[in-house]
Structures are given as structure tokens and as C-alpha cells.
Amino acid sequence: MLRALEVIRALDHAPTRRPVPTEAPMALVTDAWRPYMREPDGTISRRYYELCTLWNLRSALRAGNVWVGHSRRYTDPATYLIPPAEWPRWRPEVVRQTGTPSQGLARLEAREAELDSAIAEVERLVGRTDSHVRIEEDRLVLSPLEAEARPASATALADRIAERLPRVALPELLIEVDAWTHFSQHCVHAADAATLRPALLPHFYASVLAHACNFGLEQMASLTDLAYDHLAWCTTWHLREDTLKAAVIALVNYHHHLPLSQS
């Protein structure tokens, strides 16, 4: 993948548009990408070669095989582990808390025995004629489960509960929950970390609902008397990953301290 990225980088920095060189690495091109990889004249498609490389790069980032320096989400997975220099000091305590053998070979032998037992159980289930698991053309097939019919009493109870539940408008619910939890105070301005002014709260609530309900800001502006520019400004400066995460934490903490959650 590194060689493919170097090829793309060289093409991007070239003074003129150049085709993908014939010696470009093709090992990352899977069967799903191969039909799109050639132009009618037989040359490598630069567009699909770049897309294929970026697709593999994204998969490698998600798997932790590639990481980004100074990144929080795509950092080196080793940073989540105990540093090698400190591991001898922490090893006895970790072994005690996890209840695992202190010798790695013993742990591997135990896991191998568990794997052999699980494989034997799978083979036994596959061999049964009434099993939902079977092998067809060297492929493992799981039969879909049949849902049980819902009892009439359960349906009647659900209808009675629904009749008693009050109908609440989403905007009113959002405003009321904010009055309880003050989660909007965590959506601070990106530049000066200032909290929302009271005059901006209607735009904030509308922006949250637009994104939550997948309306889009233009549709939300047409449904309300709020200007699109103000909704876009509020979204850009106040609705970010870090502010939304802080707001969700405030909601979870409030819910955790409710009497119903403590019971």
C-alpha cells in the first residue's frame, strides 16, 4: 500500500497530468475493483486506482494496521497497551486481576483446547439433519430463524399503553430536556468557547433537529421562520464532534442520577 500511495503522491505533484505508470503495484486491487481498473485502451485508470488505494487505506486505518501521528481516533494501537518497559512491574497484578496463567505457553495451550472443543461442537451441529447450521458447496449457511407470533394479549396491552401516552412535539421535548440538563451549554463556540446566547437557542434546537431527523438545513428553514444562514452558522460554529460528545455526556450523567436508574 505504501508504494501505491507513493505513486499517487508523485502523480499529484507532477506539473502535468500523467497516467498511472505500468509498473504501479497492483497487489491491493481485489476482484471487486479489477473490472474497473482498466481504461478502454488498456491503461490503468487513475481515478479507480486512487479510489481503490484510498479504500484500502481506510480499511487499514479502521483495522489499526496503519495509524496517524497525533490522531486520537487513528492512533497507534500500541499506545493503548502498557509500555514494554513498565510491563514487568504490572504483570503480576494483571495476571491476578484477569485470572490468567502467568506463563504464555499455558495460556495458549488452554485457548487451543477451547478452540478444539468449539470446532468439535460445530462439526456435531453441522452433521445434524435438524440443525439450522449446514454446509452447502463448502460454505457455512445459517437458516433464518422463524419469529414467534405475537400474543394477542401483548398486542392489546401495547395498544392500551399507546392510548395513554401523551403526544409530545419533538421541539418542545428538546427544549424541556435542555431546561433539565443544560446540555446546550456544552455546545460552545469554536473560536472563543462562548456559550450560546439566548437569542441563538431557537436556531440551535432547529439545527439539532434538522440533523437528527435527516431533514437538512434548507428543509428546516423552509418549515420554520428561521433563516438558513443562521442555521448554517450555528451548525458550523457550535455543532462539532467534541461539543456533541460533551452534550451527550451531560445527558447520560443526568439520566444516571435519576431515581429510576438507581433502582
pLDDT of residue 146: 82
163 lies in some domain = no
Q: Do residues 130 and 176 share a domain?
A: no
Establish if 28 belongs to a structural domain. Answer: yes
Q: What 8-state DSSP symbol labels residue 65?
A: S
Q: Does one domain contain both 72 and 98?
A: no
114 within some domain: yes
The model's confidence at residue 135, banded by pLDDT at 50, 70 and 90, is confident
| 214 and 257 share one domain | yes
Q: Within a domain: residue 33?
A: yes
What is the number of domains present in the chain? 3
pLDDT at position 131 over 80: no
**190 shares a domain with 253:** yes
Separation CA 146–CA 56 (nearest Å): 38
Tell me the residue range of the domain where 178 lies: 170-262
Query: In the prediction, which pLDDT does 144 show?
Result: 84
Give pLDDT, residue 235.
93
Do residues 38 and 121 both lie within one domain? no
Q: How confident is the model at residue 181 (pLDDT cuts 50, 70, 90)?
A: very high
* pLDDT in the model for residue 263: 67
Q: Which phi and psi (to 5°) does residue 207 adopt? A: -65, -40
The answer as to whether 157 is a domain residue is no
Q: Do 93 and 70 fall within a single domain?
A: no
97 and 37 within one domain: no
Of 35, 56, 77, the one marking the end of a domain is 77
Q: What is the pLDDT of residue 202?
A: 94
Q: What's the whole-number mean pLDDT along residues 20-37?
A: 91
Report the distance separating Cα 26 and Cα 11, nearest Å: 16
Residue 18 counted as domain residue: yes
DSSP 38: B
Whether residues 175 and 256 share a domain: the answer is: yes
Q: Are 57 and 2 in contact (CB under 8 A)?
A: no
Residue pLDDT, tens place only, 54-72: 999 999 999 989 998 888 8
Residues 93 and 177 in one domain: no
Confidence of residue 179 (pLDDT cuts 50, 70, 90): very high
Chain segment 64-115, per-residue pLDDT in tens: 899 988 888 889 888 888 999 999 999 999 999 988 888 889 889 999 999 9
Q: Are residues 69 and 11 in the same domain?
A: yes
Distance CA 204, CA 238 (A): 8
Domain stop point among 77, 103, 129: 77
189 confidence band (pLDDT: 50, 70, 90): very high
